Chain A
């Protein structure tokens, strides 16, 4: 158990819909990262937040957005869903997010299926 929690574990929805994935980082971790894992693209970095502020952006679509709240939990919002958005979405957290040796710990993931 990494200490990172993600809900829900599974999500099935239809094209065009909007969903919200939730992540609670490990106690004491200030930085949260979101990743998408699909069969063809592998694990792709989406976005990083540090203490409520966006720090780095990766291959995140404009239909996707995220935020980190004052209690440090984070939400990833996916809208206008398409079939190709079906994937595993992982959240990871780390203490600071800027220094060497600051390990990222991954949550168990949310499996999103878009029908």
Chain B
């Protein structure tokens, strides 16, 4: 089946640093989504991307839909302690299918 390769698997950074994570796939996706999951909670949608090349921001978060439609990245600028959590990319291949395919996640730790 379809798989998303998400990297890095984990990151340890200092407060104030910028963070970048990405997802790649061998398949084309029509929609890329980025979610954040806090311990004991369900994933929360951060950014949705619907068009190849699209660059979208949500506060300190910026994500891009790759031109090839096979990749996406998420940047977090000026990280703060509450950014701690697991970030997941997810893709939708479309064609009426709403099966979200998730990456394995990037665990972010921010040291104050």
Residues of A within 8 A of B (CB): 2, 4, 31, 33, 35, 42-45, 48, 55-56, 58-59, 90, 92, 94, 97-98, 100-109
Contact = CB atoms under 8 A, between A and B. Distances in A.
Interface residues of B, number: 25
18 contacts: A4-B42, A33-B98, A42-B102, A42-B105, A44-B102, A45-B99, A56-B97, A59-B1, A90-B43, A94-B98, A98-B98, A100-B31, A104-B45, A104-B98, A108-B40, A108-B41, A109-B40, A109-B41
B100 A104 contact: yes
B23 interface: no
Nearest to A58: B99
A48 B97 CA distance: 10
Contacts of A35: 100
Nearest to B42: A106
Given A43-B90, A90-B42, A108-B42, 7 more contacts: A33-B98, A45-B100, A45-B101, A94-B98, A98-B98, A100-B50, A106-B44
Interface of B: 1, 30-31, 35, 40-45, 48, 50, 88, 90, 94, 96-105
Contact of A56 (B94, B99, B103): B99
A43 B90 CA distance: 10
Contact of A42 (B40, B94, B103): B103
**Candidate in A33, A90, A101, A106 with the most chain B CB atoms within 10 angstroms:** A106
A108 B88 CA distance: 16
Contact of A101 (B35, B43, B50): B50
Those 9 A-B pairs whose CB atoms lie nearest each other, nearest first: A106-B42, A43-B102, A42-B104, A45-B99, A106-B43, A97-B98, A108-B42, A90-B42, A109-B42
A53 B99 CA distance: 15
B7 to A, nearest CB: 14
Contacts of A106: 35, 42-44
Nearest to B48: A103
A100 B30 contact: yes
Nearest to B99: A45
